Structure 1
């Protein structure tokens, strides 16, 4: 039934609706007779676990997918969306979690694609294009991105801002935002929310998905919860505990598990005076059975630290692994030393999206599943299935492309790859970014189990609360160096933020 809004000017129909929508992929029912509507002039949050059907619903409303059953309505009228262009003609635009920018083109070229300024002979006027792009960025309050820069040279957060800007300049009446903040820092989130508030004030409809509850409650007028492909309720107010129960169908007892007691005081990774792009003589020691957190404000060398340790970035300094000096010049060198990196951008830096779940899981152990250069199917399937079962990876089958999995399950595949390789030193870089609350809890529990087995975890998170609750110690970085060291028990998120924003004593 259509949900209209009564105003002084009369009855206003919903900006966009999905009525009893259904969509299946193979044997997986992604959306199951789901009904959803959003009004003009509101921010409507859509929340649920990874795999609950949120992204599929957004693709149905935005014309990227066609429903198997049900109907889509815009401004109260049934519409047939045969593609994104049909949705665009109705003023419905989408910003996807998976970036759609062309990395080998400039910011200006991406912003003005299909609407480039042209000269008399129909050729693109490059100077005018840069000027127009610069005016767009300035209008949107983006003053730190050069319109001449290549997309591939931008940070993940900057790319996401360009993606958002490219849609905003289309003046959408309905804006679908699929986890737009998952790669943004605090400053960028504040920028986006100011933008959203302006759009809402102009009467636009914004549909917003996020796994960060504080973001949802700070920006949303209404919240619809999805579970197993269908809506379970729409609320103007709901507390997080109740929402988690509705999302998962169960209660999570203690959201942050207690870190295990350190069984060893043996140093497995020692770093002295590590320097390079973004790093200024960073030093640290990581012990067996330890979860060592790394925090601080975004852009202060965290990513460079992790990528240098894994041999993916040039560096100088001394690295000692298990008491022996190590020369790490490539990820292969690091992997041979029992090190593993799980990066923040699993889609472009971790997984091979067209390949199967099985192939992605066993990528680091191919010698163990091969003989005479041929992969043994039974052995590979056995190892992959064992990890799928152990990590509770939701997939239709081992042969399905990993791109078909939800974000949380993709993250589990990446973690499972390195667990199959029996890596002893795990470099976990923002591994819960863009992951639903239940999967986060499963990852937390896995971290505790791995530390209890004697593995060493170096763990960066953009969430200070995670660091405070999950780590034995937290190193706070400022300007590429270790500025402070905090030890549990008693670490708070406020301690981490305070150490990040002011000069602190250097860690020993």
Structure 2
């Protein structure tokens, strides 16, 4: 159905794609794998008309095409579910799904009754019973927003569906719904390109897998013919170890939370030791992120006490938390963590801008940023590059660099490897362990149970806004976590 012949794309200082050729067949789920920066998202942006290739050709049903923009991609039957959401928070679910395609009267006015009816039919088809057409997208959870993004793509009835990390924010139930839908679309003869860093998904879902590395095509194989080790070897080109390391936690209590209550959580009490990685587990929507936001001062808490190094503290604003030595890496890096239009350097120094006396020290900004670029392996042609141009993994490293510079005693990391490849995950795991070894206390919120089990000294399980139990990280199991999270 779709052939890519010798596609190349150059950005300043980076060759994102280098002579890539692929064939995508009807009635097939074709997985696309590679580390962050391998060129997967660039390829998707070319197929949706957001970017034009420097060289190469695209054939659709054996006919050469040039995709001038997203509108033409839609006309050609190509739809995409983006890794970074393209929704507008101020609009409703219905207005987002049918943006620019709303039913209208002869005078051009939107027929809202018909719009809501069409949206409800689609949501019913997708088994999204917890979503309503008139709900503002701003009021949805990250997982619900992702399902709206998927519904938006499917509403176009595409022949070719591109999905870029579609399950990164989804619950297990939502993932099952999506997989069922994709299998139905495959049976209808649709072509599906599926990008995911979760290798288990690829082996569960895909028929064929292709690998990119550093913008170059590596291989294509039937999934039934390959192993995890083969796939990782083609993606990374080096051995990846994800073993659990020995605990470096001390008995010194850094942070103590007592009877904390707020929006979507109540009566939360726990303590965090120096050198400890404390995992927070639970289903999406259980209240883990809300607890983190209250500790960091983004949201107010209605009752409870927070103690830092034995002293009761009042945190009414994130600036208070930063001053006290608390850092926070949010779940949604694009919307809440980074200034996407600013440079890598400007993002790194946001929490702790270098000064020379009373003046901002621009020279030191560059020196400090270059140091972190080298230390963390941030792939960017320059620290002056706009951070929005970086891959997801390198954006995440930029946020980590910000907090390494600020040097907090307590670091809260919410889904730190969201949308990051297996090699990038290993690097971030090593960084978190390094920070713990330096005596930092780390609160790790993650929906990936293997990640929690690999990193955490203790695991607190949150269920429906309450503390459901505590497990020792050394011998906890996924079954125990899920039992506490769901019973």
TM-score class normalised by the smaller sequence: over 0.9
Structural mapping, 1:106-255, within 5 Å: 106-119=92-105, 121-236=107-222, 237-252=225-240, 254-255=241-242
Q: Structure 1 residue aligned with 2:273, among 287, 299, 316?
A: 287
Structural mapping, 1:333-482, within 5 Å: 333-366=320-353, 368-372=354-358, 374-482=359-467
- State the 1:370 CA deviation: 4.7
Q: TM-score, normalised by structure 1?
A: 0.93
Are residues 1:296 and 2:282 paired? yes
Could you say which residue in structure 2 is the equivalent of 1:50? 36
Structure 2: state its 5+ residue gaps. none
Contact 1:467/1:493 (CA < 8 Å) preserved in 2? no
- State the 1:125 CA deviation: 2.2
Q: Which moved more, 1:62-71 or 1:129-138?
A: 129-138
For 1:214 and 1:433, the matched residues in 2 are separated by 15
Root-mean-square deviation (CA, aligned residues, Å) is 1.2
Are residues 1:93 and 2:64 paired? no
- State the 1:26 CA deviation: 0.9
Could you say which residue in structure 1 is the equivalent of 2:47? 61
Post-superposition Cα deviations, 1:195-218, rounded to whole Å, max 9, x if no partner, equal 101100000000000000111111
Could you say which residue in structure 2 is the equivalent of 1:326? 313
For 1:450 and 1:30, the matched residues in 2 are separated by 32
For 1:58 and 1:153, the matched residues in 2 are separated by 29
Post-superposition Cα deviations, 1:306-335, rounded to whole Å, max 9, x if no partner, equal 111111112121100110001111111111
Could you say which residue in structure 1 is the equivalent of 2:478? 493
- State the 1:363 CA deviation: 0.7
Q: Which moved more, 1:52-61 or 1:347-356?
A: 52-61
- State the 1:436 CA deviation: 0.5
- 3-state SS, counterpart of residue 352 of structure 2: helix
- 3-state SS, counterpart of residue 86 of structure 1: helix
Q: TM-score, normalised by structure 2?
A: 0.97
Could you say which residue in structure 1 is the equivalent of 2:21? 35
- 3-state SS, counterpart of residue 363 of structure 1: coil
Contact 1:35/1:230 (CA < 8 Å) preserved in 2? no
What is the number of equivalent residue pairs in this alignment? Answer: 484
For 2:258 and 2:172, the matched residues in 1 are separated by 30
Structure 1: state its 5+ residue gaps. 1-14, 503-508
